[in-house]
């Protein structure tokens, strides 16, 4: 593993649209970048067994998740010619309609940015120890299963 510092991807609460806009805006001086790919995960107001989801409470085994995310980050940088890679994931209660995951990749050309972003999202969902408890409008709950 490289000697790069492990980055904290976790944000308490939802990810603000202003934060996303500022992240995008901060890349405009980087004129060697020609393509960005962005994924935004939003809490859905799903109906489950006749009940509506009002929020998802995210928890994580943070130390393990950050170590695993560092390994994924290094693998993605080795596989794709990226300029930048940013991941932000919410912890705590996130209401339906709010952003809980922000993945942002940049490269000289669009194809590596898009492919890296897609792979990152799939690996985050499959490999990181992050759990979501769906909170229903009647205040009952169930643990979310990723499909």
pLDDT at 2 over 50: no
Tens digit of pLDDT for each residue in 43-102? 999 998 899 999 999 999 999 999 999 999 999 999 999 999 999 999 999 999 999 999
Distance CA 57, CA 37 (A): 27
Q: Which CATH class is domain 10-25+33-143?
A: alpha beta
**Residue 144: pLDDT band with limits 50, 70, 90:** confident
Task: Spell out where the chain has E strands.
Answer: 10-12, 35-42, 47-48, 51-60, 82-95, 99-107, 130-136, 141-143
**CA angle at 107 for the pair 69 and 99, rounded to the nearest 5°:** 50
The pLDDT value recorded for residue 147 is 61
Q: What is the mean pLDDT of the chain?
A: 94
What are the boundaries of each domain within the chain? 10-25+33-143
Q: What is the 3-state secondary structure (H, E, C) of 17-36?
A: HHHHHHHHHCCCCCCCCCEE
């Amino acid at each position: 593993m490289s000697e790069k510092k492990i980055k904290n991807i976790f944000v308490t609460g939802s990810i603000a649209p202003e934060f996303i806009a500022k992240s995008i805006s901060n890349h405009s001086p980087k004129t060697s970048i020609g393509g960005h790919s962005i994924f935004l995960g939003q809490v859905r107001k799903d109906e489950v067994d006749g009940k509506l989801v009002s929020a998802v409470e995210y928890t994580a085994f943070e130390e393990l998740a950050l170590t695993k995310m560092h390994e994924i980050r290094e693998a993605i940088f080795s596989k794709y010619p990226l300029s930048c890679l940013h991941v932000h994931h919410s912890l705590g209660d996130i209401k339906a309609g709010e952003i809980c995951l922000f993945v942002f990749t940049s490269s000289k050309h669009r194809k590596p940015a898009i492919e890296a972003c897609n792979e990152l999202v799939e690996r985050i969902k499959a490999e990181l120890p992050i759990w979501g408890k769906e909170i229903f409008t009647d205040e009952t709950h169930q643990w979310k299963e990723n499909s």
